[in-house]
Structure 1
């Protein structure tokens, strides 16, 4: 029985891909990958990711548990929440990230890392682009050092289309998570982790026609978004709280996950 374990923050928990029947009420790309793995082969799946977690928290709260579960493949993406904090010491954090990846690699576990998304077209997050570029270069150096797999989110330009994103503009929506699942399965298949490329098992939704909004309508949408999503996000940053503070991992133990699992 092969074991796939996912760890990290909201990206891997599945925020933006709503599903009220699942733990934490989200599905996400990792669940979608696991569904294909479990349907196609002898796989089990666990997911320790929780929204809002920073690199240090992933190391302190998820790494030891993940190692004790002895996965065959572990996916790891953390750092987005650190990049958003200009005072965070990215160099020191990435040294810790390196040490974490080394522990998995030394244990003989196949590691899948992610680069960060290119925010060049984001009015809100474009100023974080230089820090994301540094993060990505560090990730690629770590991948070279420990011979890990890389899902190169930065270079997958399809995700620049706003229709792949959730209404909060912070996370991928259902279409984005579905596309990411296909991309990850392609990486796993290309590198022989799976017996063949199973990405075709993922049916990526057809995107709706792009909305064309008048200037006044767009302004009203932006103001509504700022009230509903941006203001609470800023408040959490100022108060040192996280949307994941009251949540537990979706799947802390291995399961056989099907598309209808809850």
Structure 2
């Protein structure tokens, strides 16, 4: 089991959509760190798991890798997770093959450093978004383009894009682009399961999955005003939701297995 873990990525990995009462984001990577810490404690190794999260929302894959991968590798964790490309495939033009190759090249950089890589796809929001069919097609193409290169030594791949449970609106925040706390917990359960680490029962992942699916809600004028128009405005002006932001946990820090707020 891994005792040091650094997450790099964009809003998906930062935890956008899972905001705590004090304004901090939590998200699936925090849940994974918690699951690792709780498993270590159960094995008599309390306080042995350290975690950092360098992810910043809005980052396209090239800047993400350039900014976040070197400091992550320099800290020499046992595990690095990488998700990216979601912001690339929402642009008017994108080379899917180039995005996939960037992910594979980054994976090799990590494994060549003797670090295990968790490579994971984001969840699929396309059923709930304007022009969702385009995003779905590109996401499917990216998923397939990455899989061509797998398996890779010392790389664990978790395919959240293909997790049909995550398509349900119950797992999505009000902007329909980012997961809510339940969605982030499900992604974390996918990751922990891939590593053979128990998923804490108090997360309620299985109970939620067993419940009936929700109907897709309508997109209202208020939805477009609050979420779509600001996104378009940032694209037109060359701004990003991550401008001026820094990593929420820049250095490896001991995880307290009892400190995570409940869902």
Name the structure 2 match of 1:194: none
- From the two aligned structures, give the one with the greater helix fraction: 1
Find out whether 1:14 has 2:25 as its counterpart: no
Partner of 2:31: 32
Q: Does 1:222 align with 2:220?
A: yes
Aligned residues: 248
Deviation at residue 210 of structure 1 after TM alignment? 7.0
Change (3 A) 1:71 1:79: same
Matched, 1:113 2:114: no
Note the 1:128-147 alignment, pairs <5 A: 128-147=135-154
| Unpaired runs of at least 5, structure 2 | 41-47
> 1:54 touches 1:79 (CA, 8 Å); kept in 2?
yes
1:48 aligns with 2:54: yes
Q: Which residue of 2 aligns with 1:192?
A: none
Q: 1:211 to 1:114 in 2, by over 3 A?
A: closer
Distance in 2 between the 1:210 and 1:63 partners?
38
Cross-structure match for 2:43: none
Match of 1:152 in 2: 159
Shift of 1:212: 7.2
CA deviations over 1:63-120 (Å, ceiling 9, x no partner): 1111101111111100000010131223223222221111111112111111343455
Between the aligned partners of 2:186 and 2:100, the Cα distance in structure 1 is 27
Quote the Cα distance in structure 1 between the aligned partners of 2:76 and 2:51: 12
TM-score with structure 1 setting the length: 0.86
Indicate yes or no: 2:86 matched with 1:80: yes
CA RMSD, Structure 1 to Structure 2 (Å)? 2.4
Matched, 1:2 2:3: yes
Q: Unpaired segments of 5 or more residues in structure 1?
A: 190-196
Whole-angstrom CA distance in 2 between matches of 1:224 and 1:63 = 38
**Mapped pair 1:185 → 2:192:** yes
* 8 A contact 2:11–2:55 mirrored in 1: yes
